[in-house]
Amino acid sequence: MSDFRQDFLRFALDAEVLKFGEFVTKAGRTSPYFFNAGLFNDGAGVLKLARFYARAILDSGVAFDMLFGPAYKGIVLAAATAMMLAEQGVNVPFAYNRKEAKDHGEGGTLVGAPLAGRVLIIDDVISAGTSVRESVTLIRAAGATPAGVAIALDRMEKGSGEQSAVQEVQQQYGLPVVAIAALDDLMNMLQHDAALHDVLPAVAAYRARYGIDAAQH
């Protein structure tokens, strides 16, 4: 596990964005861990989170010309990540959408730079893929090209079928998905941290039941 992925998971744990216990997911599954990127809600937290996004994006080698943040969580993520990329010498424009079209002023649902070229979508997680689908539609309607999706954590968990939501996005749209960390990285952390060993059996059992095959990921 590369250092920045481990550092990210530690950061999420310290911020209580990543928690262990018993949680019910949207799919009705009882999960031994919970990750809520919405809890990165202060200046220092978002700053550090954006640095991890920038690092993961640049390490991935995905080619892009601008960022797009789906409302609402993606708005802050796209703006903050653009700032951190600029610090790394990669200055790109960003845009985001409104949930409802504005009927005065400039109007429309899009805010920020015009959608053009290769557009990288920034979001917190991919659950049902709805946000990605809406973003891809907006980007293509503007004549631009979706370049990929960057997320904070890939749970590597089956959806309604045998594939994960991430795999479905990759297959349906042919887009690369860049995750700062994935369930594999979390398992690795649990295996190598004596203080977290008691959590490992529950996470391993959950993965055995709902996880996808990492070889197919």
pLDDT digits (tens, 9 = 90+) for 29-78: 999 999 999 899 999 999 999 999 999 999 999 999 999 999 989 999 99
Virtual CA dihedral for 135, 140, 145, 150, nearest 10 degrees? 10
Q: Is 104 a catalytic residue?
A: yes
HEC states along 65-126?
CEEEECCCHHHHHHHHHHHHHHHCCCCCCEEEEEEEEECCCCCEEEEECCCCCEEEEECCCC
Task: Tell me the C-alpha distance between 6 and 92, whole Å.
Answer: 27
**Which listed residue (19, 26, 104, 192) is catalytic?**
104
pLDDT for the residue 103: 55
| Sequence-ordered list of residues with C-beta below 8 angstroms from that of 172, at least 6 positions apart, any chain | 129
Number of neighbours of residue 216 by Cβ within 10 angstroms: 9
β-strand 30-35 against 66-69: which pairing, if any? unpaired
Q: Is 197 a catalytic residue?
A: no
| Sequence-ordered list of residues with C-beta below 8 angstroms from that of 205, at least 6 positions apart, any chain | 32
Number of neighbours of residue 205 by Cβ within 10 angstroms: 11
Which of 207, 181, 206, 202 minimizes the C-alpha distance to 9? 181
pLDDT for the residue 99: 76
Please tell me the pTM assigned to this model: 0.91
pLDDT beneath 50: ranges in the chain? 1, 104-105, 107, 216
**Which listed residue (99, 102, 197, 217) is catalytic?**
102
